[in-house]
Structure 1
């Protein structure tokens, strides 16, 4: 699994990087088929935004979240990715 973390108008500090990676570890419990994860954090005026794109088994899953706090945005984004990944996994099981 390849994780790419980038920042738009914000420096990605070691603390932010570690927080993102610790949250993304939860996603690997659901699927071993995750090949790449691209995470972008950005700041626009008072809005902190986190968005991610995951490539799983030939399909891309996208989620984003906005908040006043960057860490809250990251948490909400990973929750959305978690729900979407579980839904994708259930679809694969039911169609086979």
Structure 2
């Protein structure tokens, strides 16, 4: 898995990089087919914005979060990302189960 973290009007410190990487790895551990992760952290006056795009096999998941604190934005982002990845994983599993069930019904 390739993780790329970029900052707009913000210097990415090792602490920020470690914090975000640890959070993303926790989410990505739920799903094996992750190709790459691109994260953009930006600061605009009083808004701290965190965006991430996760490239999965067959789909890209994009999530954004805006908060007053950068760490709160990253936490909110990871929660949203976790829900999206779980939803996609469930969809893929249900899709494959449906094929097996229809094959069994057609064979009877």
For the aligned residue pairs, the C-alpha RMSD in angstroms reads 0.6
1:58 positional shift: 1.8
1:51 aligned onto 2:51? yes
1:25 positional shift: 1.3
Give the distance between the partners of 2:93 and 2:14, measured in 1 at CA: 38
Runs of 4+ in 1 over 2 A off after TM superposition: none
1:29 positional shift: 2.0
TM-score norm. by structure 1 comes to 0.97
Provide structure 1 residue ranges, at least 5 long, that are not aligned to the other structure: none
1:27 positional shift: 1.5
1:70 is aligned to 70
1:94 aligned onto 2:69? no
Give the distance between the partners of 1:68 and 1:28, measured in 2 at CA: 26
* Higher RCO (CA < 8 A, seq sep 6+): 1
1:13 is aligned to 13
TM-score norm. by structure 2 comes to 0.87
Greater helix fraction, Structure 1 or Structure 2: 2
Equivalences, count: 96
Give the distance between the partners of 2:94 and 2:15, measured in 1 at CA: 40
